[in-house]
Structure 1
Amino acid sequence: MLYDFQRDLLNNIEPNYIIAADTGTGKTMMAIHHYLKHNKGEPLLIVAPPQKIKEGGWQRELDFVASKYNIEIPYDILSYGVLSKRWKEYKNWFLVMDECHYVKNPTSQRGKAAIKLTQQSTHFLLLSATPSSNGWGDTIAYMIMFGYYKNKTQFLREHAIYNRIDYGNGPVNVVSDFRDQEILQKIYQSFSIKLAKEDCLDLPPLVFEKIHFNPSKEYNIIKKDRVLGEELFDNIAKLQHGLRFYANQSDKLKYTEMLLEGTEENIIIFYNYKQENEELKKIAKKLKKKVFEVSGSKTNLPDKVVWPELKNSVTIVQYQAGAAGIELQYANIVVFYSPTYSYQDYEQALGRAYRNGQTKKVTVYQYITKGTVETNIYKALDAKKDFTEELFRREIVN
């Protein structure tokens, strides 16, 4: 179940470690096998963002591994949202913290609880594509977890360089840099390993990740009553639109925010509706991403000369406007936020990033709301067919 690069990585790390691996390299599967290798019978605790827990990826992977090996894996999954209240319940568990950058602030309630949880665990593994994207200040919590410093005060006393800045109410000391960075680098590298997708020789050049959601209340109301508030869905076209749009906007947006927050790689998001565009741009701007856009009324893309240095960008593309004729090889994460009915548009959209000139391996996220029209759309697309009105009538209306 492991690629060679995953097996090699696990053979070269200690039981307590940080895996700083790119999106699409299989951090979940590596973490489960790390637990299987080092546990002494204690149960496994997964701490993850609520969006990941709700999507169910951890449960699916754990159940899959247990079934393949014909074993039982005792585990619990805890949200970061309740970590500060419940960490005491998990003494002597084997700990995996997914998207560990959520606890990089050692003085927050969540960060304090995470540090205490690592200290009472049998072993702990931290996962993130970007555990320390903002420099040494982001590593302080990890340094404490691995026992190199007692607290943030000690770290700053030994390494912080301050500037005095006048904010109007008098001068304030502000950390401007850190001393002894070679020492800090040596310490950090003693418990962390970086894994880039392009270094994974046996990883396929195109990796698909299916992200599952449950249908929204609005979807179920429209499907049953053909009405939502004052909006009627009294013909096939309106019903198709309503079911596709209202499949689950809320959870998709939350998951997208988590995905964007956890990487500095360049991302393309394909969408259908203007309202999706507006909400996606709000999230990208909130996270201070560089935002590019292709729609029926606007085309704003980075110049090719900046592609080699470009990072931390989001390109939001409407299928009909940008499925063909544009080159987006600067991005290596593709999100199909809501599906298109057209197999041609789907293939063309996929080919915007995965084409000649792409130097990185590409991860594709398909957002699929279970038990909805989206499931049927992807069945057709996987069969290299359009999702037609006839299929809609057969599978949804009837």
Structure 2
Amino acid sequence: MYAITKSAISNSYLDLAPYLVMGGYYSSKTDFIRQQIKWFDDYHNPVITDNYGNISRFAFRDPDLIDRQLQEISVYLNTSQYMPDLTVSHEFFNILASTRWDLDMIDDAYESGKIEFPIQARMMQEEVLATSGYAPKDLRLLNLLTRRDKGEFGQIHLILIFYQYNKVYEHLIKMIQTVRPDLPIHTVNGHSKDTLRKPHDDESVYLVQYEAGGVVQRT
């Protein structure tokens, strides 16, 4: 059996666990985590980073074994000739001081027993992260749309936006429909599965939900 993925490089072995399960090396992702993950945070989530926030193979108990297992089921193909023109840019947004304060208050409430279960604290923190810092990200998106309208991206027209939380999706839909009601919006998530293909128009915006593969350790 061979597992085929479009991602030549994943964030960590944790992202590849489903393929190892399909290969028969583990009975489930939970079994993989139980056998291979060394560290967990206070909410029992796998920690796959070092103290500097970098993803580390040494967060796993036997990375050499995982490498051998992956090698047995992997086939590597060079598909670079099929890639369309792509414009990539990176911008980092700092967590606001008020947001960090809210996160710390939830930590304190959990440690003091005011919040009973870890999952409750985690959901509250996700709510804070999902609803904070919209303004700079909205401006960044509007800037991309303006630059696209001016033709700065050449033949590139489609814009893909990856998000994690449902509240972020709700915000994006409302914002785009308010400022640019002319734009076709396509959705790919657990509730709506528009086919991810080149549409008939060139002005589409795709909203694609993803699920993070691990937890970044906060220091």
User: TM-score band, normalised by the shorter chain?
Assistant: 0.3 to 0.5
Greater Rg by CA: 1
Q: From the two aligned structures, give the one with the greater strand fraction.
A: 1
TM-score for the superposition, normalised by structure 1? 0.26
**RCO (CA 8 Å, sep 6+): is it higher in 1 or 2?**
2
